[in-house]
Amino acid sequence: MDRSGMRQLLIDWLDDNYHFGEADSKIGSDDASFLDNGILDSLGFVALVVYLEDSFHITIDRKNLNRENFNSVNKILDYVVLRTGGAA
């Protein structure tokens, strides 16, 4: 799966669980902070981690798992692409 496919999966998950059709417009920029812009709360982050690990068959390293560096569409995609080698 390429990056844009991964992005769509992420947006679909946000729509299904938090924003119901408004995720893309709420995010605005792919660099926008999820926490600062009310895209996800801390519980949402935990659910997202489980979703990403299960969907892409990866293990998210605790080193990377904090609010600062796992906090926007681009940061999340960068990490998933790195771990999957760009394919899921």
Binding site for other proteins (CB under 8 A): 16-17, 20-21, 41-43, 45-47, 49-50, 53, 60, 62-63, 65-66
- Looking at beta carbons only, is 4 or 42 nearer to other proteins? 42
Q: How far is the CB of 88 from other proteins (least distance, A)?
A: 19
Strand (E) or helix (H) holding 82:
helix 73-84
Separation of alpha carbons 35 and 56, rounded Å: 23
The dihedrals phi and psi of 53, each to the nearest 5 degrees, come to -65, -45
Task: Give the alpha-carbon dihedral of 28, 16, 77, 72, to 10 degrees.
Answer: 40
CB of 2 to other proteins, least distance (A): 26
**Shortest distance, position 85 Cβ to other proteins, whole Å:** 18
